[in-house]
Structure 1
Amino acid sequence: MMQESDKIQEQIVPKYRRNQTETVILVMRVSPDSDPDKNARKADEFIELAKALDYKVADFVTQERHPDRKYNVGSGKAREVAILARDLRATRIIFYDPLSTSQIYNISKLCGEAGASCKVVDRFQLILDIFAERATTHRSKLQVELARLRYELPSAKMLIALSKKEERAGWGGLGDYEDSYEQDIKKRISRIETELSKADLEEEARRLYRHKRGFFMISLAGYTNAGKSTLFNALVDENAESKDMFFTTLIPKTRALEFGKRKILLTDTVGFIEDLPHFLVDAFRSTLEGIYFSDMILLTVDFSEPVEYIRDKLITCHETLWEKGTSNIITVLNKSELVSKKEQKQKLEELEHLVINPVFISAKNKTGLDRLLLEIDRNLPQLIVRTVSLPNTKAGASALSWFYENGIVEEILYGKYMTFEFMATEDVIAKTDDILRRTEEKENEENENF
């Protein structure tokens, strides 16, 4: 049975429920002094976000003005949207700007007065709905729930007050109930954070284990819908979901990338987006940690877009990546087959300060991948070669397995000793003396026992 607190939450901030026939109206207010071109890009992106949930966009309403405290847009425009929702039988009105709980309530009230039956949400809630639908693992579902609760917490008391407004007599309030609802949210947040922290420790342990075994960690990152999943498929010969749609990759996928003598694990990650809600970033912080702690990042860009779009998206990506001081980046200029050589040069010159180690590719046509692999090899930490001799005994065979797990073992020459060339990173090479010492000690113990 649904608790009272859940009923109240559903009235103002409804949980996402899949409905293939949803008809929506998008509302975007722009500041009078804002950039028209940037506004156009944001509008296109707003529509794509709605399409990511198969919503039918019945109308797109815009208004140029400073924000209104009561409705976000002006009162006249708000009433116009309410009537439009009634006439178009819209099931949702989605605002680009973040709405306060009182603004959602006020706009919903106008809709009710106009005879419209619809939910009022903002872009933040829309993104959260997309994440909710794409979450398939227990961990990702917990992350979405955590984001939803953090989104709801700041306005918990206001949410109850507005939901119960008609029931309140005189000057009295709900008092303890408001505090109880807020505390309930905080307890649920705490429980989810505890469970996620355990999952994060397990993930960190896996990451450390892979590093100890000599694997290089490379992450695909970039603005959503830049072609990361297509590139991932091309590099690892995989069939991961790849659609012309925002946030197709919500759960990171990791596969082995084989080329040369290196041991590499490549991870496809969730795409970035401008003005991503802070509560969503915080909830998925552990997912982003996998990017931050990678040995290299392949920052994927849709190079076929207008240079202004590319610039804004690169700024968004770099702001996210530089938060942790990430520096080893290759900028993968995808869809370059759609851009002439002359235009490629012009764009590169205009974006020079944002493009690090650029490589032109076409993930769809699988062109330029050889150049990309060479650039990856050049920028990863160099492998050091050391000649190793192990006794051809039980102790030596045990040590040999360690060398196989932590680096590259060249052809072994067998005799009294097993001699081979061992290639690994500097930190792994530094451990070989200790391995050889322990092997010698085991060998001596075996001889004494014999």
Structure 2
Amino acid sequence: MLERQSIEYEKAVLIGVINQSQDAEKVNEYLDELEFLTYTAGGEVEKRFVQRMEVPNPKTYIGSGKMEDVKDYVKANDIGSVIFDDELSPAQQNNIEKLLRCKILDRTGLILDIFAQRAKTSYARTQVELAQYEYLLPRLTGLWTHLERQRGGIGMRGPGETEIETDRRIVRDRIALLKKKLTKIDKQMETQRGNRGAMVRVALVGYTNVGKSTLMNVISKSDVFAENKLFATLDTTVRKVVIGNLPFLLSDTVGFIRKLPTQLVESFKSTLDEVREADLLLHVVDISHPNFEEHIASVNQILDEIKSADKPTIMVFNKIDQYHPETLEEDDLVTERTSAHFTLEEWKKTWLNKLGENVLFISALNKENLDEFRKKVYDAVRDIHVSRFPYNNFLYPEHLDQY
């Protein structure tokens, strides 16, 4: 609460649509996530507008009546940004800006803005800038009519702060230059990955804000930035980790999200290459999130898109200390619930533990059940290493007293 009072947040409203593909409950889930995204970007959500429509209005996405409601609210409450949960076409965005006369963002634009905030290294900034320019190019028409009155805030980071940069030719030239720069960096990073030798590579993957960076810090005893906001990590961090007598490389990757912008998937090719080239994936899941099953499905879908779905994977259900009983259905537990949080033994009696042998329940923050985690990772890495170097089995005693 203190943090919110010390920072001036920009007022925003959210807009979602109920249709055949997403019912009211689903739209509320998406808007909850969009609100978290807005907060991460520096906004405070004042109100949500939801309309039931079979097909979005091709001109303004929502109907004229609902648009009038939004317009009246924006004017009366000094709203800085109106944010749509789905991607708007350039024409829709332009039309809505003329009607509401304020900043109009969609989910893609909002995510790109957060990435612009989070990019720290030259490589990450280049990746984000490329994605932003590719998103901006078809939206140049009429963009500057309202920006003359608005400076800074959500959606205003990165490229496009002076009118000269809106020239299509300049933007296309910039895109070509950034792609050339990224191709060069990609080759350098590919060489770096090749120079790591034959060590087993393990990659942390998962939805954004599930605790990957916290787990990375605990395992590798490093100091990777971790924060309870979406996309705290953009740059891939690779650390050498030793469990028992077995060294391997552990990488922390950018978090996935539903409706991940295609521009970012393409721009962050090298980041995703860490996943593609990994020998073992640690799929971290925030068990305390009410929609964790959808998060798992979203991550699996992206893994499938980058042809990494068939890799050996350990499911790591994190944040068991933050779980509340209403997250699971009543019949998911064999034992009766007697406290606010389940014990480790109770977790192992849920349907989640029936997903296979490679399932773990931990709290990275409280360092709970990390011994079992280390043992399971050790065994998996060892199996990969032994298959790669069958004559080095003398390195691995049958039993280790300490992991």
Q: Deviations over 1:44-79 (max 9, x none)?
A: 111100011221111111112131111101111112
| Structure 2: distance between partners of 1:382 and 1:145 | 39
| Structure 2: distance between partners of 1:273 and 1:31 | 21
Task: Report the counterpart of residue 142 of structure 1 in structure 2.
Answer: 126
Q: Which has the higher helix share?
A: 1
Local SS of the residue matching 2:12? strand
Task: Report the counterpart of residue 57 of structure 2 in structure 1.
Answer: 68
1:372 aligns with 2:353: no
Task: Report the counterpart of residue 58 of structure 1 in structure 2.
Answer: 46
Q: Tell me, yes or no, if the aligned pair for 2:17 and 2:27 is still in contact at 8 Å.
A: no
Unaligned 5+ residue runs, structure 1?
A: 1-18, 113-117, 165-179, 388-407, 409-420, 424-450
Q: Tell me, yes or no, if the aligned pair for 2:11 and 2:45 is still in contact at 8 Å.
A: yes
Local SS of the residue matching 2:41? coil
Q: Deviations over 1:291-350 (max 9, x none)?
A: 1111111100011233xx12211111111112313411111011224352546533416x
Runs of 4+ residues deviating >6 angstroms: 161-164
1:91 aligns with 2:80: yes
| Structure 2: distance between partners of 1:359 and 1:231 | 13
Task: Report the counterpart of residue 206 of structure 2 in structure 1.
Answer: 222
Deviation at 1:39? 2.3
Unaligned 5+ residue runs, structure 2?
A: 1-6, 146-165, 324-340, 397-403
1:207 aligns with 2:207: no
Local SS of the residue matching 2:363? coil
| Structure 2: distance between partners of 1:329 and 1:130 | 29
1:297 aligns with 2:281: yes
Task: Report the counterpart of residue 141 of structure 2 in structure 1.
Answer: 160
Deviation at 1:228? 0.8
Among 286, 297, 302, which residue is 1:315 paired with?
297
Q: Tell me, yes or no, if the aligned pair for 2:15 and 2:82 is still in contact at 8 Å.
A: yes
Local SS of the residue matching 1:345? coil
Task: Report the counterpart of residue 397 of structure 1 in structure 2.
Answer: none
Q: Tell me, yes or no, if the aligned pair for 2:204 and 2:250 is still in contact at 8 Å.
A: yes
Q: Deviations over 1:81-139 (max 9, x none)?
A: 11211111011111111111221121112124xxxxx2111111000000001111111
TM-score of the superposed pair, with normalisation by structure 2:
0.79
Q: Tell me, yes or no, if the aligned pair for 2:12 and 2:79 is still in contact at 8 Å.
A: yes
The AA in structure 1 aligned to 2:365 is K
| Structure 1: distance between partners of 2:230 and 2:395 | 44
Task: Report the counterpart of residue 185 of structure 1 in structure 2.
Answer: 171
Local SS of the residue matching 2:124? helix
Local SS of the residue matching 1:366? coil
The AA in structure 2 aligned to 1:208 is G
Q: Identity over aligned residues, as a percent?
A: 33
Task: Report the counterpart of residue 181 of structure 2 in structure 1.
Answer: 195
Q: Deviations over 1:365-404 (max 9, x none)?
A: 11221211221122221334759xxxxxxxxxxxxxxxxx
1:348 aligns with 2:368: no
* Correspondences of 1:20-419 after superposition (within 5 Å): 20-31=8-19, 34-66=22-54, 67-112=56-101, 118-153=102-137, 155=138, 159-160=140-141, 181-210=167-196, 212=197, 214-306=198-290, 309-323=291-305, 324-325=307-308, 326-337=310-321, 338=323, 339-340=341-342, 341-342=345-346, 345-348=349-352, 352=355, 357-380=358-381, 381-383=384-386, 384=389, 386=391
Deviation at 1:209? 0.8
Q: Tell me, yes or no, if the aligned pair for 2:347 and 2:361 is still in contact at 8 Å.
A: no
Local SS of the residue matching 1:106? helix
Over aligned residues, Cα RMSD in angstroms? 2.4
The AA in structure 1 aligned to 2:362 is I
Local SS of the residue matching 1:321? helix
Q: Tell me, yes or no, if the aligned pair for 2:15 and 2:48 is still in contact at 8 Å.
A: yes
Local SS of the residue matching 2:141? helix
| Structure 1: distance between partners of 2:74 and 2:58 | 22
| Structure 1: distance between partners of 2:185 and 2:380 | 31
Local SS of the residue matching 1:121? strand
| Structure 2: distance between partners of 1:360 and 1:162 | 49
| Structure 1: distance between partners of 2:71 and 2:273 | 42
Structure with more contact order per residue of length (Cα contacts < 8 Å, sep ≥ 6)? 2
Q: CA, structure 1 residues 386+292, in 2 after alignment: closer, same or farther (shift >3 Å)?
A: closer
Q: Tell me, yes or no, if the aligned pair for 1:335 and 1:363 is still in contact at 8 Å.
A: yes
